[in-house]
Structure 1
Amino acid sequence: MKKFEWKSVLALALTGVLALGLTACGSSDSKTADAGSAAAADGKAVYRTLDEIKESGTINIGVFSDKNPFGYVDENGEYQGYDVYYARRLGEDLGVDVNFVSTEAANRIEYLQTGKVDVILANFTVTPERAEEVDFASPYMNVSLGVVSKDDNVITSLDNWNADDSIIVISGTTAETYLIANYPDIPLQKFDSYATAKEAFENGTSVAWANDNTEVIAFALQNEGYTVGIPSLGSADTIAPAVSKGNTTLLDWINDEIVALGEENFFHADYEATLADTYGLDYEDSLVVEGGKVNAQ
């Protein structure tokens, strides 16, 4: 299937998805968050309350540093992307600086539980299993899984899989979990970072790459010779901020902030500033969630 043919398929799939100011330090260096008064001796998550964050003057936000266009470090060493744009606004409205902490998919929960970050804004898909370990705020984006492959061998189904072939996944992502549960016989090549996964895929170590459909669509649009043969796999999900379990003061503030930002169509502005160059405007309303209300664009 050629790219001009699957654009309409992708638009329909994404439309049906139900559940997707520089105050920062501007550095790619990570700083470990101070353990707040909520540190518990019985193994509960370490976190800083909203008041403690305000008093410190800095909020530590976990973002990707290699997942363009959602979270990445540009040629000037500055964090950029959809999640980063949102993170800067959180810091501005909270009245504190933002310290960006580079995270990988597999350590997002750990970074919250150990107090290394106050908030995760790293394209974090909401799942029941993750919600047992962290607290999710209201969503700001729609997402589902997708599969990208080379034009000369477009993968359109995972049924009747060739046992000699493998699929690339990122450790700790919903793609890994979904494939293990639903296609246990498909060999997986697992990588910790998006950069190494992309490099391996481009080098032909696997016939396909499964990830968030937003990620694989971006990859196909930015790289000649690739097609998203499966634009929607599994359930429709959402992306949301996450905080440490029990950090209700910060969670409540973020939820109120999402509602307020929705009134000004902030996330549409974010999309147009950071994602439109990659996806165009056709996907905007199907991807963006305003005010935490899914399908309320």
Structure 2
Amino acid sequence: MKIVKRFLAIISLLLIVFAAGCSTSKSSTTKNSSSATSTAKARSLDAIKKSGTIKIGVFSDKKPFGYVDDKGKYQGYDVYFANRLAKDLGVKVKYVSVDPASRVEYLTSAKVDIILANFTVTDERAKQVDFALPYMKVALGVVSPSNQLISDVDALEGKTLIVGKGTTAETYFEKHYPKVNLLKFDQYSEAYQALLDGRGDALSTDNTEVLAWALENKGYEVGIISLGDTDTIAPAVQKGNTELLDWINDEIKSLGDENFFHEDYDKTLAPVYGDAANADDLVVESGKVD
């Protein structure tokens, strides 16, 4: 009887060890598989030239920076810049629509070569992607209905603020104003519709964006024009894609010699802002922030 019990104990132990081994193997396989799908090698500058096409991630619903017009064509401040990059590189451009939260992932997975989607430079993001020289400067702004205008950030406590997922607005309010209730959306079009529907008391994103939106939507005002630090907007490439990064930086410096970004502003932003904004307050030439 003792022999039988000892035999059964050994069998049980072997089964436990075998199960643990399978679990570890499965976990390792899953981990490796996940890693393989999340990271892909970026294309070199030469590979992009040989293909004849550069893939650039832009917004499709953030007017006047990146949006699709009534004819299905990409337009906006970022797009105007992207078109020039492709032209000077001697290739065609393929636009890939991104939302705020997917910008990093689209670079790490090599779905795009460059992100030009109002991408604010932050220390956290710089750990995941490589930023080129800036071409714009911004701060956060808050837009709300004119008849219930939010002009003081403390007035947002206990209220619902609409933000985009993966944005600097989301990060800023979570860190500095935890008592503000955040209603988050993937797409800017969804976020603004929520404000129009009254699902939130206000909306926050870059001040350049809320100003443009308020000018085109009567009954809404930017009560808080500048919140937090002044940040910069820059192109981004996959981490370690130094060759493409250096080319973009050289291009930005060269474009500064012809005041390209002021031209870009005049073509895409001035018709929207009118006298409500000044190009010198927003535009960065040659990557040099005043």
User: TM-score, with normalisation over the residues of structure 1?
Assistant: 0.83
**Is residue 149 of structure 2 the alignment partner of residue 151 of structure 1?**
no
1:93-152 deviation digits (Å, cap 9, x = unpaired): 000010000000000000000000000000000000000000000000010000011111
Instruction: Give unmatched runs, 5+ long, in structure 1.
Output: 1-39
Q: Distance in 1 between matches of 2:269 and 2:169?
A: 22
- Asked if the contact 2:38–2:108 (Cα under 8 Å) also holds between the matched residues in 1, the reply is no
Instruction: Give unmatched runs, 5+ long, in structure 2.
Output: 1-34
Partner of 2:281: 286
Partner of 1:272: 266
**Is residue 236 of structure 2 the alignment partner of residue 242 of structure 1?**
yes
Q: Distance in 2 between matches of 1:284 and 1:276?
A: 8
- Asked if the contact 1:61–1:99 (Cα under 8 Å) also holds between the matched residues in 2, the reply is yes
Partner of 2:104: 109
Partner of 2:43: 48
Deviation at 1:156, TM superposition (A): 1.3
Q: Distance in 1 between matches of 2:258 and 2:69?
A: 28
Structure with the larger helix share: 2
Deviation at 1:280, TM superposition (A): 1.9
The correspondence for 2:175, drawn from 166, 181, 184, is 181
| Structure 2 counterparts to residues 1-297 of structure 1, below 5 A | 45-159=40-154, 161-163=156-158, 165-280=159-274, 282-295=277-290
Deviation at 1:41, TM superposition (A): 6.5
Q: Distance in 1 between matches of 2:242 and 2:221?
A: 43
Q: CA RMSD in A?
A: 1.5
Q: Name the % identity.
A: 61
- Asked if the contact 1:45–1:244 (Cα under 8 Å) also holds between the matched residues in 2, the reply is no
- Asked if the contact 1:145–1:212 (Cα under 8 Å) also holds between the matched residues in 2, the reply is yes
1:45-70 deviation digits (Å, cap 9, x = unpaired): 52001111111110000000011100
Q: Distance in 2 between matches of 1:47 and 1:137?
A: 16
Q: How many residues align?
A: 255
Partner of 1:15: none
- Asked if the contact 1:45–1:245 (Cα under 8 Å) also holds between the matched residues in 2, the reply is no
Name the amino acid aligned to 2:207.
N
1:3-36 deviation digits (Å, cap 9, x = unpaired): xxxxxxxxxxxxxxxxxxxxxxxxxxxxxxxxxx
1:175/1:87 CA distance change after superposition, 3 Å: same
- Asked if the contact 1:46–1:112 (Cα under 8 Å) also holds between the matched residues in 2, the reply is no
